[in-house]
Amino acid sequence: MNYAVVGEKVSASYKAVFQQYRRDDEIEVASQNHRHLSGILRDLTTAFPHPVRVLEAGCGTGRYFHCLKNVEELVGLDVCPEMLQAAEHPVLEDEITVPNIRLMCENIYLASLRANFFHVIYSLGMFGNGCPVTPEILGRFHAWLAPGGKLFFNVVDEATLMPSARLKRRVKRVLYPVLPDVVQKTLDERENRMPFFGLTKSALEQIMKQTAFSSWRIHRHVCQSPLWQGVLLECRAQKTQLP
């Protein structure tokens, strides 16, 4: 997959909706889904006995910035400059307690960040459309985390898809290696438009097993939001502490 090309497509698609997305933040913050995620983020950052450095991958308009507690520095990274522009004045801005927020316009698959630096990395709503969860991206997160650092991300559960779409994806996965080059090329080009990368729980488990994370767990969460209904896989992982 050509991450630069897909990143440009993703950026263009969010550029078209960033104002609506920012308005939707005002609705979403009152939802049960937001309370659920807010609680997880608070638990993650307050689990450390000192203020922490945090990376949000695919931060969008900064919908979750106000949920963070015990954070001294936040890097909000996103591939879409318009979403980041909106993140300069995020929802519930008055409630934000982070003293130092840095917004970075980068593609997460290509970004180069400091190793062993962040205590917490989280990513909400980024994986799925145009963004695959791979051992490589998780390897990057692992490298950027400090020892004992914590990762939290969600990804659309493939079970959310219609059965016919699921079947099509499975057939494609099985047949792809034996297809003629020209057909593979056509499929690759289509994939580079805005591919969908939902996962099943067992597929995500297989991916996690290929990473250096010492411990992790995956939970299925039924998302109850006025903006989106479906099932998400939520994954929490931890980098090994130094002895």
Ligand X SMILES: C[S@@+](CC[C@H](N)C(=O)[O-])C[C@H]1O[C@@H](n2cnc3c(N)ncnc32)[C@H](O)[C@@H]1O
Q: Which residues bind ligand X (CB under 6 A)?
A: 7, 10, 14, 58-60, 63, 77-80, 83, 107-109, 124-126, 130-131
Q: Which amino acid makes up residue 37?
A: L
> And the tokens for 201?
């729980």
Q: Is 126 or 145 the residue whose CB approaches ligand X more closely? A: 126
**Cβ 167 to ligand X shortest distance, Å:** 26
Asked if 119 and 214 touch (Cβ cutoff 8 Å), the reply is no
Measured distance CA(197)–CA(236) in Å, rounded: 19
**Cβ 117 to ligand X shortest distance, Å:** 18
Q: Is 117 or 184 the residue whose CB approaches ligand X more closely? A: 117
DSSP H helices, 152-209, are: 163-175, 181-191, 201-209
**Cβ 135 to ligand X shortest distance, Å:** 16
Q: Is 130 or 149 the residue whose CB approaches ligand X more closely? A: 130
Measured distance CA(195)–CA(5) in Å, rounded: 12
Measured distance CA(242)–CA(179) in Å, rounded: 47
CA 42 to chain centre: 17
**Cβ 79 to ligand X shortest distance, Å:** 4
Q: Is 77 or 237 the residue whose CB approaches ligand X more closely? A: 77
Beta strands in 106-179 (DSSP E): 118-127, 145-156
Comparing every residue's Cβ against ligand X, the nearest one is 60
List of residues 6+ apart from 16 with CB closer than 8 A: none
Q: Is 40 or 83 the residue whose CB approaches ligand X more closely? A: 83
**Cβ 175 to ligand X shortest distance, Å:** 27
